Amino acid sequence: MERRTLLAAGGAAALMTGCVVQRVPATNSAPAPSTAPPTTGAPATTNAPAPGPAPLAKVADIPAGGGVILKDQSLVLTKDAGGKICAFSAICTHQGCAVTGVGNGTIDCACHGSKFDATTGERVAGPAKNPLPAVAFEQRDGAIFKAS
């Protein structure tokens, strides 16, 4: 199955399904400063951007050749030796158990021994018949975020 990369509007971040193919740096597009005098009688406000969502993980916290399992999000993030990040469902396609580990190029489910390729999600061993579904994500500022 072919993985495709979609770019977020304006090129501000890379939107991924499965593995990172391209990283697009964030741009700072702050609004132009206002030249209008402040109004009187009302407190001054700023046009500071609202805080964004918290990252799922920092890229640096995902070990090369391994990965991290985010149980609360039912998500597994992997990184190959070259630094390519992938995101998959952490729910085994055999009987719905949560995967339990990532290493030696596979995502492993201890329930019945299924193993999935850590860069494609494809089944490589065990009773599971289907791959782990890829999950869309954004990589920006050295972190992984849920796709918006």
> What pLDDT, in 10s, does the model give residues 25-39?
444 444 444 455 554
Q: How many helices (H) does the chain have, and how many strands (E)?
A: 0, 12
- Global confidence as pTM: 0.70
Amino acid at 51: P
Per-residue model confidence (pLDDT) at position 49: 60
Report the range of poorest mean pLDDT among 38-42, 45-49, 105-109, 120-124.
Answer: 38-42
Question: Domain extents for the chain?
Answer: 5-27+55-146
> Going by CATH, does the domain composed of 5-27+55-146 fall within 3.30.70.100?
no
Q: What is the per-residue burial (b if ≥16 Cβ within 10 Å, else e) of 9-40?
A: eeebbbbbbbbbeeebeeeeeeeeeeeeeeee
As a whole number of angstroms, the distance between CA 92 and CA 77 comes to 14
